[in-house]
Structure 1
Amino acid sequence: MSAEAHSGRRFVLIGLGAMGYGIGLSLLRAGLAVDGFDLNPDAQKRFRAEAGLDRSLEEACGEADGAILVVVNAAQTEDALFGAHGLADRLKPGAVVISCATIDAQKAVEFEARLAPKGIFYLDAPISGGSARAAKGQLSVMASGRPDAFRQAELALDAMAETVFRLGDRAGPGSAMKSVNQLLAGIHIAATAEAFAFGLAQGVDADQIMQVIPRCAGSSWMFENRGPYIAAGDYRPHSAVDIFVKDLGIVTDTAKGASLDLPVAAAALARFKEASSNGLGREGDVAVVKLYAQASGIGLPPKRYEEN
């Protein structure tokens, strides 16, 4: 796709992992020009071939209407914005930063405040939906920021999201809401692994679990999304164990600051931490089920999926 085919609106995309790459494709499909950057040279080369653009970060930022950060955590977000090659000194005044990582709400407030003197808008915009929905432009975005930030981000949000929740006129509420979602997501993934282990221990077939439970009251979105991975022996990092070590860590740390005890979230976090310490951190988050197999000797379903 050539640059001439685009609408004239340009965005820099930092982070071409499973979610970021899908977002990038959705932006291109909407007719936006996208300069993609990633530490993985293969992912960057592949995306640039899709985008028809192969420019330096300096060149790209000079013309960009905004930047979309699809990185892992607050430290990577801060480095992308204010590090040695930071966007804060490269984007033009009036550009918007759409920050999609799951971070502590106070860090989002801080990033907005640090960008404001440079005339750069910050949209606190964590995302949910998984890589498949990212590639279809069907994400949910929990966004908060100044009206000007929403206005500058509108075309990108329309391209990447099915639903955009406008949660406030300052940074912070978007990340706070994402932490609520991640509390539930982490608990439900841990519960899915435990439920499968419990069924398998009784001789229940994994495929039958997936046929029955989604039609019963005990199901959840995460069960229906992650259960098939366990049934297929698929522990590729669609979303890794270490993601929930981080995200549930944010949840429990925030709760401590509010003198709030979250025993269920803490129990789920302990499972993810144990899985990570057992060498499973970079496997898919459902690899938590392997802890049960190791402890009890139950057999898990064998690998049964097609490699991409």
Structure 2
Amino acid sequence: MALDGPFDRKPVGFIGLGHMGSALAAGLARSGHTVVVYDVAGPGRAPVGTRWAEGIAEVARDADVVVLSLPDGEVCASVLRELVASDGRRSECVIDTSTIGVTAARNLADDLSAHGVSYVDSPVSGGVAGARARTLMVMYAGTDEACAHAEPVLAGLSDRRRRVGASPGQAQALKLANNFLSATALAATSEAIAFGRAAGIDMAVMLEVLNASSGRSAASSEKFPEHILTGRYASGFTNSLMAKDVGLYLWEATDLEGPAALGAVTAAVWEAFAAGEPDVDFTRIYPFVAGTGDGREVPDGADGTDCVPRSRTARESRTTSG
């Protein structure tokens, strides 16, 4: 689908070609944009239909709008320092799809403004599959001028977009809230499923009932059927990134003096998971919580003890309490 408007004839820069970045850059190219891409890992990551740049400076010279999809705020800051310092820089607008936190987004916006570059805070949610299907939720925040500059490119990323505020950092706040809810639901559903399995209930039966009941969530309706029940564990998002995002949520919530009791518990679970099994698919939280630790379902006939390796069983608690 080619997009109308003055920006569809100008190359769009894209820096960061991990699982999500590659899918987003490919989608931009399919939507009719000329996309100039770069990743420190090398040209092997360049999606079909894009043009490889030899470095950040080349992207800065060729592209009016540059999209970032990077792992954290420090990497974003490093890339943008090189971008704005590039000789012959053409870039005037940065769209940051990375999840970096409210404070980092505000700081980057201020730093770029000093160099005459606008910044649109634009994290995404929906996974690699959503990026490929154009069902990804693109939430974005920035000044009117910055958003007007960015919107033709944002339209190339997804059919689902929502401006959530006028200040960089507001979209980050919403993305962190979303990932906190996602992380909490997946961890809690994992514990609930492990409990049911320990009682001898088939996982597929549990999911059928839960998804017709009040306990339904994206964890039970999507993550478990597609990745855990099947044993695929291939969502394209790592536990280390989720631990980082939940940690950012807790830090920002504490900084804003908001409630964070559940945030602290969720962050501790994901931090422990990422420390024990770094960089595995985040849907492997189920075997981690269940205690199998290897991606295998709790076997039929299990007595339930293996499902709670980090705490005493209920029977032990009852016999030793008081």
Per the normalisation by structure 2, the TM-score is 0.82
**Aligned amino acid, residue 16 of structure 2:** G
Alignment of 1:84-99 (within 5 A): 86-90=82-86, 92=89, 95-99=92-96
- How far apart are 1:283 and its partner, in Å? 1.1
Alignment of 1:185-196 (within 5 A): 185-196=182-193
* Paired residues of 2:120 and 2:140 also in contact (CA < 8 A): yes
Unaligned runs of 5+ in 2: 1-6, 300-322
Q: CA RMSD in A?
A: 2.4
Judging by fraction of residues, say which structure has more helix: 1
* Paired residues of 1:192 and 1:226 also in contact (CA < 8 A): no
* Paired residues of 2:13 and 2:62 also in contact (CA < 8 A): no
**Aligned amino acid, residue 236 of structure 2:** H
* Paired residues of 2:122 and 2:139 also in contact (CA < 8 A): yes
**Aligned amino acid, residue 213 of structure 1:** L
Find the aligned partners of 1:141 and 1:61 in 2 and give their Cα distance.
Answer: 24
Q: Structure 1 161/301 Cα, relative in aligned 2: closer, same or farther at 3 Å?
A: farther
Find the aligned partners of 1:209 and 1:298 in 2 and give their Cα distance.
Answer: 18
Find the aligned partners of 2:118 and 2:169 in 1 and give their Cα distance.
Answer: 14
Could you report, residue by residue, the CA deviation over 1:257-291 in whole angstroms, capped at 9, with x for unpaired residues?
2333422222121111121222x221111222223
Percent identity for Structure 1 against Structure 2: 26
Per the normalisation by structure 1, the TM-score is 0.86
Find the aligned partners of 1:87 and 1:297 in 2 and give their Cα distance.
Answer: 42
- How far apart are 1:94 and its partner, in Å? 6.1
Could you report, residue by residue, the CA deviation over 1:94-117 in whole angstroms, capped at 9, with x for unpaired residues?
621001111221211111111112
* Paired residues of 1:95 and 1:121 also in contact (CA < 8 A): yes
- How far apart are 1:169 and its partner, in Å? 2.1
- How far apart are 1:88 and its partner, in Å? 1.8
User: Among residues 123, 126, 129, which one is paired with 1:129 in the alignment?
Assistant: 126
Q: Does 1:242 align with 2:243?
A: no
- How far apart are 1:166 and its partner, in Å? 1.4
Which residue of 1 is the match for residue 199 of structure 2? 202
Alignment of 1:224-235 (within 5 A): 224-228=221-225, 229-235=227-233
SS of the aligned residue for 2:36 comes to: strand
Unaligned runs of 5+ in 1: 1-5, 303-308
- Count of residues in correspondence between the two structures: 290
Q: Quick check: which has more Rg, 1 or 2?
A: 2
